[in-house]
Amino acid sequence: MPTLDFKGKQFVYSHHLSVPFRELKIEPEKSLPKEGQKPSLDDNLIIHGDNLEALKALLPTHAGKVDCIFIDPPYNTGNEGWCYNDNVRSPLMQEWLKKSANPVDGEDMERHDKWLCMMWPRLILLRELLSESGTIWMTLDDNEAQRAKLLLDEVFGEENFLGNVVWEKSDSPRMDADYFSTRHDHVIVFAKAKTDVLFKRLPSDPENLPSHYDKLDEDGRPYYLKPLRAMGGQGETRESRPNLYFAMTAPDGTPVYPKLKDGRDGAWRWSKKKQASEKERIDWVKGKNGWTPYYRIYADGSDGTPPETIFYNFEAGSNRTSKREIREILDANLSFDTPKPTALIEKILKITTTPNSLVLDSFAGSGTTAHAVLKANKKDDGNRKFILVECEDYADDLTAERMRRVIKGYPFTGTQKQELLSEKITWSAFQKKHAQIMQKVEELEQKHSQDFDKIKKELKDGVLTVTGERKVKDFAPGLGGSFTFCELGEPIQVESLLTSKEMPSFDALARYVFYTATGQSLEEIAKASADGFIGETDLYRVHLFYKPDPQWLRSNDSALNAEKVKLIKSSNNAKKRTIVFAVAKFMSQKELTKHRIEFCQLPYAIHRIMGE
């Protein structure tokens, strides 16, 4: 597969390995925990700090657990004021760092290289955090979209590309444009593993189907027919797909082979096995040249319609609606130039999450992703959780403040609007199904009559919109929820264990060594016990003997000895391999090997396991 080359790539290729682990430090006064509870890392998280270091800090607790990642990184337009400041050890990077006080602008001839160097290690860590069924959605414009696609091909695998969605971000032309008035952004979508991906269809609207769904099955489900013979491309010939060339039996008992229009041997779309399992979808049609097999394509695909690669602003919001949305919630002095609409992320959540999914946004900005998660939970009584990472100083005053107001409610006087229905509809469909459409609108009015003062209906430019409007005086109600606000602590430098400088807590070091030893996050740290057991995987049991006390670490109590080995052995009922972290041992490695124990000396062994 072709790869993308850029200046500095060889220096950032493994940079994620040298990024130090940091402990997540809870800030209780900035958090909004559930009533009667203390802030916890098990809650929704808002993390203030460099997102590269924050992603590394999340690995010990969240590796392989995130179901949906939405990121809105710098578009690299040359006008955003972002700086490249990753501390990569190389002369080239150090030269760039000297200029880091100056934002990357349109005059910087290396701005594309710097953007790629910035994104590479972050995407590597994001992939580690993503679950096997998870997806990543990245918004960009034409400044970096083509390079980002190649970068994602390399990090996630070209085979895991799901699509390039066009989001209609504008609902009117920019009259001051020099050439084209740009109406769209890209949303590039990849799976961690396409074979396991969670990617849901959207609810279909049987009242507004395209005209080619012209048939109904026995249960009244609309469908249309498509030839079962493969058409188009090299895969339509017998030579290219010999296993798909065979006789099918027509209703009159005659054999039918796939034939191209020029008389050559062709191929079927389906194998014999699939034809047998899907035989109820096969229809035979007799024409002047004999029988031809077709297969049914249902309007709802049995469980909905696949998302299309164009997200229109009437369904996913626009830049104008997103700015209006955030102005309503925040004070005038808390402005944000480029918020995304919650409707855009809500649609993504419908496609790629369940009510218990975990959603991550490491370029959090104004916190739209978290807002969309809370709205989705409100609609279906879900328990989705969010993790936001924001490096700028407004992480508390703007990002977290928006969440406080969205959760608890906020001062507001005016008219609130909520879109209840928005769908494209043709004039011919409106004429044919006028009664059904009006009934649908009336049902919406009845359902929401108590929620709004007024329900407005509009059919404009081929879009039917139903909007609920309510007048609010003094205070808008909140959505409910909670979150924990965190700062990044000092790096977990295991070398400090013997110098007593910035010693990590037991929990932080336990999660750290467990992840470095197994590559998996620690769900829950086992309660303190004499054998130092902290957790296990299918293959390993991991033990840690540690206290953030330099005097204890220098004592004999901290060493792995025969008594501790006896305890470890007696608790290992599954006879798994055992990894033990301690500052010293009073037994030979030969004796430990006999008991299937691997000793890892703190602080040095961690780097050996990580391969650094």
What is the arrangement of strands in the sheet containing 414-424, beginning at the earlier edge strand? 414-424, 463-472, 454-460
| pLDDT band at residue 197 under the 50/70/90 scheme | very high
Flag whether pLDDT at 607 surpasses 50. no
Percent of the chain with pLDDT over 90: 37
Residue that wins the pLDDT comparison between 606 and 587: 587
For the segment 278-300, the average pLDDT, to the nearest whole number, is 88
Residue spans of alpha helices (H) in 448-500: none
| pLDDT band at residue 343 under the 50/70/90 scheme | very high
Q: Does the global pTM surpass 0.75?
A: no
In the chain, where are the structural domains located?
9-81+120-161+189-202+322-411, 215-298, 414-473, 492-610
Query: Which tens digit of pLDDT belongs to each residue from 1-38?
Result: 778 999 888 888 888 888 888 888 899 999 999 988 99
DSSP of 253-297 = S-EE--B-TTS-BB-BSS-HHHHHHTGGGEEEEEETTEEEEEEEE
For residue 543, which phi and psi values (nearest 5 degrees)? -125, 145
Flag whether pLDDT at 249 surpasses 70. yes
Flag whether pLDDT at 91 surpasses 80. no
Q: Residue 240, exposed/middle/buried by CB under 10 A (0-12, 13-18, 19+)?
A: middle
| pLDDT band at residue 608 under the 50/70/90 scheme | very low
Task: Return the bridge partners of 170, or none.
Answer: none
Query: Which tens digit of pLDDT belongs to each residue from 228-246?
Result: 998 876 678 888 888 899 9
Question: Which of 152-166, 248-262, 304-318 has the largest mean confidence?
Answer: 152-166
DSSP of 321-341 = HHHHHHHHHS-TTS--SSPPP
Residue that wins the pLDDT comparison between 304 and 64: 64
For residue 83, which phi and psi values (nearest 5 degrees)? -120, 145
Residue that wins the pLDDT comparison between 118 and 442: 118
Mean pLDDT of the chain: 85
Q: Which pLDDT does position 206 carry in this prediction?
A: 55
Query: Which tens digit of pLDDT belongs to each residue from 110-160?
Result: 889 999 999 999 999 999 999 999 999 999 999 999 999 999 999 999 999
Lowest pLDDT segment from 421-430, 486-495, 520-529: 421-430
Flag whether pLDDT at 610 surpasses 60. no
Closest CA to 518 of 139, 128, 68, 235: 128
Flag whether pLDDT at 604 surpasses 60. no
Q: Which pLDDT does position 251 carry in this prediction?
A: 92
Q: Which pLDDT does position 575 carry in this prediction?
A: 80
Query: Which tens digit of pLDDT belongs to each residue from 502-551?
Result: 678 888 888 888 888 888 888 788 876 788 999 888 888 999 998 888 78
Taking the C-alpha atoms of residue 569 and residue 588, their distance in angstroms, rounded to an integer, is: 16
> 9-81+120-161+189-202+322-411 has which CATH code?
3.40.50.150
Flag whether pLDDT at 331 surpasses 90. no
